[in-house]
Amino acid sequence: MRCAANVIMRLMDQPIPVVGVEKHGFLHISIPVGMLQCNCSIIGDPVTREALVVDPGDEVSRILELLGRHRLTVKAIVSTHAHIDHVGGLSKLHKYTGAPVMMHREDLPLYQAMDVQAAFLGVMPPELTDVHQVLADGDALQWGSLEARVIHTPGHTPGSVSLYMPPDSGKITLAAPQLFAGDTLFAGSIGRTDLWGGSMEEIMDSLRGKLMALPDETVVHPGHGPTTFIGEERQSNPFLVSRD
C-alpha cells in the first residue's frame, strides 16, 4: 500500500546509504526493502554483535547478507505494524535466525489478513509465521548492552508501535536518543489513516501526546524516507505545527 506517496516520491529522488556507520554509539544499518521501499533497520551492539531487526518487509537474503558481513546475531525481530511492506520477511528471517518475532497484539488481526493486503497490492501473500511475543506499551526490549522502549502509537494501524532508545538506556550511552517510528511519523508528513483500522484522531493523539513529548534532539528513523529529528518535525511538519 502507498503508506505516504509523497514520502516515497521523495525517496526516489535521493540515494539512501546502504550501510550505516557506528556513529551514535551503536551499529545501525538501514536499507529500504521491497516494492514500497520500507526502511528495514538493523540495530546492533558493536561489542557483543547482538542485533534487533526492525521491519524486515522483504529482501531477506539481502538482510541476512548484511548480518553476516557485520558478524551480527539476531536476538529479536520486531515489526512496527502489520502492513505487508513491514512484515513480508518475518517468516523467512525467523526461519534463518531462530529469533523471536514480535508485534503489538492489536495488529495480529491485520497480520492474519495478509491475503487481503496482498490482493490490495496485487501481489502474492508472503508466508506467515507465529508471533512469539506480543508487545505492549512500556515494554523494554534488551539485547546486548542496548535497550529500547515500546511506545504504542496507534492511528496508522491499531497496533502501531514506535521503538524509543533513550541515550542512557542499557549499558551503552548513545550520542542522541533514537526513535524508530514505523509509519506513524515521517520527515514532513505522517502515516495515512485510511487503511484497515486507521484513525486520524488516534494518530494525532499518538503524535501529540507521545512522540512530541520526546526530546528535540531525538533522531527519528521513519518507516519510509529519510531520517529527521523530533525538534525539526515539531517546528515544520505541517500536521504538527500548532495553528494558534
Report 169-188 residues binding Zn ion (CB under 5 A): 183
- Of residues 24, 28, 75, 83, which one binds Zn ion by CB under 5 A? 83
Residues 6+ apart with CB under 8 A from 153: 160, 161, 162, 181, 182, 184, 203, 206, 207, 210, 211
Give yes or no for residue 106 binding Zn ion (CB under 5 A). no
- Build a one-symbol-per-residue string for 129-158: x at contacts with Zn ion by CB under 5 A, - elsewhere: ------------------------------
When the beta carbons of 3 and 11 are compared against Zn ion, the nearer one is: 3
Cβ(2)–Cβ(8) under 8 Å?
yes
| Strand pairing category for 38-44 and 50-54 | antiparallel
Nearest in space to 135 (alpha carbons), one of 166, 163, 168: 163
Give the cell for residue 29: 544499518
When the beta carbons of 44 and 191 are compared against Zn ion, the nearer one is: 191
Give yes or no for residue 3 binding Zn ion (CB under 5 A). yes
* Cα–Cα distance for residue pair 82/89, rounded to 1 Å: 11
Give yes or no for residue 223 binding Zn ion (CB under 5 A). yes
When the beta carbons of 75 and 83 are compared against Zn ion, the nearer one is: 83
When the beta carbons of 97 and 153 are compared against Zn ion, the nearer one is: 153
- Of residues 58, 59, 85, 233, which one binds Zn ion by CB under 5 A? 85
